C-alpha cells in the first residue's frame, strides 16, 4: 500500500472509524514537516490541539458523514493546502475509513483558493449543505424537525417585532432557556443585560427582595446601602423568569402590577423606579390547571401569555437526535481530548428511546459515549442512558411512567390532585408512587 500512496503527487491521509491516523504518504509528511511515525494512531483533534495543523476536514466528515472540503495549513511549514475528504461506509452506514487528499495551493491567492474550495464543494451536490442547523451569534441550534424549525422562525419574528411578554412552554430538558437566549440575541435588546431567575431555586422569603430589590434597613440582614433587584438589573434588556409556575401568589400580584405599569418599588422604599425590559417566562407546568386550582393568578396567566411558544419534546423531534448527539459528542471530544463517535447501530437504538429527560438526557448519553468509551456501547450492543441498564418495552414504559409521576408530584400538593392531573384515581396514584419509590413532598403534605 505504501508504494501506491507514495506514487501520488498530493498528500494522502487515511483515518479509521474513530478518527485516528492509520496511514500518510511521503508528500503529506513533506507538507506537514512531520514523520509518519509521529502521526500514526493519533486523533485529528490531537493534531490540532498540539499545534501541528490549524484545522482538519476529518472533523467535518465525522459530523456530517458526507464528503468534505476545507482550506488548511501546516503550522510548522506554513504550507497551505485544500483538503478533500471522502468517507467510506459499511452496509450499515457506519464510517470505516476516511481518505483525505491534500493539494498544495501556495501558488493561489486567498481569493482564488476560496473560489476553488467553492467549486469542489459545489461538485458534491446539495447533500453537502446542512439545512438542519440554525446559528445566531455564539449559539448554534440543531433543528431538522419541521415543527421545531417553525417554532424558531416564530420566535425570531417575535424578537424582531419587539414583543415584550412571552411565555415559553415545554417539558423539562427541552431547551427552554436556550430558546429564550436566542430570542434575546435576535432582538434589538441584545447588547443590553440578559438576567435570569429560577423561581423554584430561591427560597420564598428571599424571592421578593431578589426580584424587586430593597433599601438599606428594609429587613434584619439587609445591606446598609440596599440592593437593586433583578428587574432593575434587566432594564433595557431581557428578564427570564424560569419555573414561573412556582412563583408564590403574593409575588404574582406584585409582578402583575409591574407588567401593568412598568414601575418597581424596592422593599422598604417609597421611591418608584421606571423599568423597561422584555419579560419571558417559562414553565413545564400546566398553568391552566394551576389557575383552576387557585395556585396561579388567571390575570397574570393571560398577561404573560400574549404570545406562547411550545417546545416539542425530543421524542417528537426524532430528526434532531443524530445532529444533537454529534454536536455534543464533538464538544466532549474536544473537552476530554478524545476521538470517539457513535455507530449507526447505537443511533438506531436512540431513535426508539423515549427520552423522558429530553435534550438534557441526550447530552448525558453523549458524555458517556466519549468518556466511558465502552466498546459494546459504541457498537450499539447496549444502551445505558444515565447509567441505567438496558430495558425492554416494559422497562421503558415503567421508566416513562415514573418520569410522568415525578413531574406531577412536583406540580401538586396531594395525591388527589396528582390523580386528577393524570386522570387516574387516587388509589392508583398511591400504588404507583409506592411502586416507583416516590412520595409526595413533606412540605406540600399528602
| Residues 169 and 301 placed together within one structural domain of the fold | yes
Residue 443, domain member (yes or no):
no
**Do the Cβ atoms of 396 and 382 come closer than 8 Å?**
no
Q: What are phi and psi of 13, to 5 degrees?
A: -120, 145
**Total residues belonging to the chain:** 446
Report pLDDT digits (tens) over 384-423.
444 444 455 667 677 778 877 887 887 778 888 888 778 7
Q: Are residues 424 and 342 in the same domain?
A: no
- Looking at residue 1, what is its pLDDT? 63
Mean of per-residue pLDDT scores for the chain: 84
Residues 180 and 305 in one domain: yes
User: Cell numbers 464533538 correspond to what residue?
Assistant: 330
Last residue of a domain, one of 293, 310, 327: 310
What confidence tier does 128 reach under pLDDT thresholds 50, 70, 90? very low
166: domain CATH number is: 3.40.50.300
- Lowest model confidence (mean pLDDT) among 43-57, 118-132, 193-207, 240-254: 118-132
% the chain with pLDDT above 70: 87
Residue 336: inside a domain: yes
Q: Where are the beta strands (DSSP E) in 284-418?
A: 308-310
74: CATH: 3.30.450.20
Task: Output 244 or 370, whichever has higher pLDDT.
Answer: 244
Residue 244 lies in a domain: yes
Q: Residue 192: what are its φ and ψ, rounded to 5°?
A: -100, 175
Distance CA 109, CA 121 (A): 18
Count CB neighbours of 39 within 10 A.
20
Cell of 300: 397574570
Query: Which of these three, 78, 101, 128, is where a domain ends?
Result: 128
- The answer to the question of residue 412 being in a domain is yes
Are 147 and 282 within one domain? yes
* Mean pLDDT value across residues 89-98: 74
Q: Are residues 219 and 300 in the same domain?
A: yes
Number of structural domains (the chain) is 4
Distance CA 3, CA 5 (A): 6
> pLDDT tens digits for 304-337?
998 999 999 999 998 899 888 888 888 888 888 8
Asked if the structure places residue 114 within a domain, the reply is yes
Residue 178, CA distances (Å) to 175, 202, 446 in order: 5, 21, 35
Statement to judge: residues 337 and 263 lie in one domain: no
Please answer whether residues 410 and 417 qualify as being in contact, where contact means their C-beta atoms are separated by less than 8 angstroms: no
- At residue 444, does pLDDT exceed 50? no
Task: Pick the closest to residue 430 from 416, 444, 443 (CA basis).
Answer: 416
Summary count for the chain: helices (H), strands (E): 19, 16
Which range, 44-48, 111-115, 237-241, 270-274, is most confident? 237-241
What cell numbers appear for 299 in the block?
390575570
Residues 215 and 350 grouped into a single domain: no
Are the C-beta atoms of residues 22 and 58 closer than 8 Å to each other?
Answer: no
219 has a pLDDT exceeding 70: no
Range of the domain at 183: 136-310
pLDDT band, very low/low/confident/very high, at 378 (cuts 50, 70, 90):
very low
- Our CA angle for 259, 264, 267, nearest 5°, is 130
Q: What is the pLDDT of residue 218?
A: 59
Residues 249 and 345 in one domain: no
Residues 69 and 113 in one domain: yes
Same domain (yes/no): 226, 141 = yes
> What SS3 state is found at 53?
strand
**Domain endpoint, select from 128, 156, 173:** 128
| Cβ–Cβ under 8 Å, residues 101 and 81 | no
276 and 416, same domain (yes or no): no
The confidence score (pLDDT) of residue 310 equals 96
Per the structure block, which three cell numbers stand in for 408? 406531577
Paired residues of 139 in beta bridges: 136
| Beta-carbon count within 10 A of 91 CB | 6
User: Is residue 440 in a domain?
Assistant: no
Q: Is residue 48 part of a domain?
A: yes
Give the pLDDT score at 270. Answer: 85
Amino acid at each position: 500500500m505504501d508504494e501506491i500512496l507514495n506514487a501520488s503527487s498530493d498528500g494522502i491521509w487515511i483515518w479509521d472509524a474513530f478518527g485516528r491516523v492509520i496511514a500518510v504518504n511521503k508528500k503529506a509528511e513533506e507538507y506537514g514537516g512531520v514523520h509518519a511515525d509521529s502521526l500514526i494512531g493519533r486523533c485529528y483533534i490531537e493534531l490540532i490541539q498540539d499545534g501541528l495543523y490549524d484545522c482538519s476536514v476529518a472533523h467535518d466528515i465525522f459530523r456530517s458523514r458526507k464528503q468534505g472540503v476545507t482550506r488548511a495549513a501546516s503550522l510548522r511549514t506554513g504550507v497551505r493546502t485544500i483538503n478533500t475528504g471522502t468517507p467510506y461506509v459499511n452496509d450499515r452506514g457506519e464510517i470505516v475509513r476516511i481518505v483525505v487528499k491534500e493539494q498544495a495551493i501556495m501558488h493561489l491567492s486567498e481569493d482564488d483558493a476560496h473560489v476553488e474550495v467553492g467549486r469542489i464543494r459545489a461538485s458534491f451536490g446539495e447533500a453537502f449543505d446542512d439545512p438542519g442547523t440554525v446559528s445566531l451569534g455564539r449559539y448554534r441550534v440543531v433543528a431538522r424537525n419541521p415543527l421545531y424549525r417553525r417554532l424558531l422562525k416564530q420566535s425570531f419574528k417575535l424578537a424582531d417585532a419587539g414583543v415584550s411578554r412571552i411565555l415559553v412552554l415545554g417539558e423539562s430538558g427541552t431547551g427552554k432557556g436556550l430558546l429564550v437566549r436566542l430570542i434575546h440575541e435576535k432582538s434589538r435588546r441584545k447588547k443590553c443585560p440578559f438576567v435570569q431567575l429560577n423561581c423554584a431555586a430561591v427560597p420564598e422569603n428571599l424571592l421578593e427582595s431578589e426580584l424587586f430589590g430593597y433599601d438599606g434597613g428594609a429587613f434584619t440582614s439587609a445591606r446598609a446601602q440596599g440592593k437593586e433587584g433583578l428587574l432593575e438589573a434587566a432594564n433595557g434588556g431581557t428578564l427570564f423568569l424560569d419555573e414561573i409556575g412556582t412563583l408564590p401568589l403574593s409575588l404574582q400580584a406584585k409582578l402583575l402590577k409591574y407588567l401593568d405599569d412598568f414601575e418597581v418599588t424596592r422593599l422598604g422604599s417609597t421611591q418608584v423606579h421606571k423599568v423597561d425590559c422584555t419579560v419571558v417566562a417559562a414553565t413545564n407546568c400546566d398553568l391552566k390547571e394551576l389557575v383552576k386550582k387557585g395556585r396561579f393568578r388567571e390575570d397574570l396567566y393571560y398577561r404573560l401569555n400574549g404570545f406562547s411558544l411550545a417546545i416539542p419534546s425530543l421524542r417528537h423531534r426524532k430528526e434532531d437526535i443524530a445532529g444533537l448527539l454529534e454536536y455534543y459528542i464533538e464538544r466532549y471530544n474536544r473537552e476530554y481530548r478524545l476521538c470517539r463517535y457513535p455507530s449507526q447501530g447505537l443511533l438506531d437504538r436512540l431513535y426508539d428511546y423515549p427520552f423522558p429527560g429530553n435534550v438534557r438526557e441526550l447530552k448525558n448519553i453523549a458524555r458517556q459515549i466519549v468518556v466511558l468509551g465502552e466498546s459494546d456501547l459504541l457498537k450499539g450492543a447496549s444502551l445505558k442512558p444515565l447509567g441505567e441498564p438496558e430495558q425492554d418495552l416494559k422497562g421503558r414504559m415503567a421508566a416513562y411512567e415514573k418520569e410522568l409521576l415525578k413531574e406531577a408530584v412536583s406540580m401538586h400538593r396531594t395525591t388527589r390532585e396528582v390523580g386528577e392531573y393524570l386522570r387516574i384515581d387516587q388509589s392508583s396514584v398511591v400504588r404507583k408512587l409506592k411502586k416507583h419509590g416516590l412520595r409526595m413532598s413533606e412540605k406540600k403534605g399528602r
